[in-house]
């Protein structure tokens, strides 16, 4: 498996970005026909057993459930910003806007300070919750949990916490791999 030569396809990446033609059969179905998969998918395809295991979980975590996409993007963008993921932050700034978050909210979530501007009360509570989840390795104080319970059902809190952990894992892979931004992200910025 070879890293492709131009920046959009992996120059500078420290992990191999697997192309569709090089993808093992076990994960080739995860490469959409007619379009390039994300660089995170391409990096994970270098470990096909891992990608095959993660794909259904990530698919569930990243798509709407009883928790809508905008709410999930609050978690993804805030956690990625807190973890300083150079790949995930710009990628999810675009995704958050597509999910309906206003520019002001996207900027607040992606920034280093407290995320407040442009967010609903529930989204502010969720951003503060993410701040504690990341900075305290999953532990949150009673006040943050009570604030979350005012806006979310317990099963949603569990789902959002799992999402924060999954995103942290992807932030680590993207950071380790120094993944370049996907061409679609670059074009949409």
Mean pLDDT, rounded, for 27-38: 87
pTM of this prediction exceeds 0.85: yes
What fold does the segment set 69-188 form as a domain? Answer: AhpD-like (1.20.1290)
Mean pLDDT, rounded, for 18-46: 91
Q: Considering the chain, what is the average pLDDT of its residues? A: 92
> Does pLDDT of 4 surpass 70?
no
Domain with CATH 1.20.1290.10 in the chain: 69-188
pLDDT digits (tens, 9 = 90+) for 46-62: 999 999 999 999 999 99
> Does pLDDT of 7 surpass 70?
no
> Per the structure block, which two tokens stand in for 110?
């992606």
> Does pLDDT of 10 surpass 80?
no
> Does pLDDT of 26 surpass 60?
yes
pLDDT digits (tens, 9 = 90+) for 111-148: 987 778 999 999 999 999 999 999 999 899 999 999 99
At 134 the pLDDT is 96
Q: Would you call 64 helix, strand, or coil by DSSP?
A: coil
Range name among 62-76, 109-123, 148-162 with the lowest pLDDT average: 109-123
Whole-angstrom CA distances from 116 to 105, 126, 128, 161, 175 are 7, 10, 9, 20, 26
Confidence of residue 9 (pLDDT cuts 50, 70, 90): low
């Amino acid at each position: 498996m070879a890293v492709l030569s131009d920046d959009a396809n992996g120059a500078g990446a420290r992990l191999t970005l697997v192309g569709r033609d090089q993808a093992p059969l076990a994960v080739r179905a995860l490469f959409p026909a007619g379009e390039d998969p994300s660089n995170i998918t391409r990096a994970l395809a270098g470990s096909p057993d891992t990608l095959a295991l993660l794909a259904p979980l990530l698919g569930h975590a990243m798509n709407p459930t009883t928790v809508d996409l905008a709410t999930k993007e609050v978690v993804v963008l805030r956690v990625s910003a807190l973890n300083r993921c150079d790949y995930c932050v710009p990628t999810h700034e675009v995704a958050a806007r597509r999910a309906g978050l206003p520019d002001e909210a996207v900027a607040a979530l992606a920034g280093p300070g407290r995320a407040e501007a442009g967010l609903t009360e529930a989204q502010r509570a969720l951003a503060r919750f993410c701040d504690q989840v990341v900075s305290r390795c999953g532990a949150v104080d009673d006040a943050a949990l009570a604030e979350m319970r005012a806006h979310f059902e317990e099963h949603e809190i569990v789902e959002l916490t799992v999402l924060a952990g999954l995103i942290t894992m992807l932030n680590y892979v993207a950071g380790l791999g120094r993944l370049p931004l996907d061409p679609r992200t670059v074009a949409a910025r």
